[in-house]
Amino acid sequence: MENRGLTGRAAWTALDDQALVAQCATDLYRASGPGGQKRNKTSSAVRLRHLPSGIIVIAEESRSQHDNRAKALKRLRRALWLSYRQAPPANAASELSGGWPGTRSPSFLAAAALVLDILDAMEGRVADAARELETGSAALAEFLRQDEDVWREAAQIRQRHGLPVLR
């Protein structure tokens, strides 16, 4: 798949499954836990290590390696958006000018990644990030709170910068 000028995580997440897996080191192993004898005899668990970003995801809940690979790829795409930080673009506010997308919107993860990038660039200060996005602190916090993983990543960003977790 051609990435038409996309870079970093936008380019990685736009790749088809085969191309994204090609960027990963894949480990297959036997998962422990319930599932009977078949689970203990087959290497159905999948660990993907995305080499360019360093992000690692696993999927081991199914007895099917195929199902676990599909789940791991889905988790990897989500982790690339939410855990991999990049320098925000200069026109960040204009990218969200259409309003805050809901969690079911196809643009939610890209918007969440942009907000988290800005929060990180502002050293975890929500008020500064909100000002950069031309919105209020309460609106920004409400957007972050929509998704548990986004909220968790915002908390980790703040902790990395020595600030308390948002409430």
> What is the phi/psi pair of residue 54, to 5°?
85, 5
Longest dimension (CA), the chain: 57
Given CATH 3.30.160.20, say whether it is the number of domain 8-83.
Answer: yes
Copy the structure tokens of residue 80: 């690339």
Answer positive or negative: Cα dihedral of 70, 105, 86, 142.
Answer: negative
Whole-structure pTM value:
0.87
Give domain limits for the chain: 8-83, 92-160
pLDDT digits (tens, 9 = 90+) for 119-151: 999 999 999 999 999 999 999 999 999 999 999
pLDDT > 90 fraction of the chain, expressed in percent and rounded: 75
Copy the structure tokens of residue 26: 């894949």
Task: Give the amino acid at 121.
Answer: A
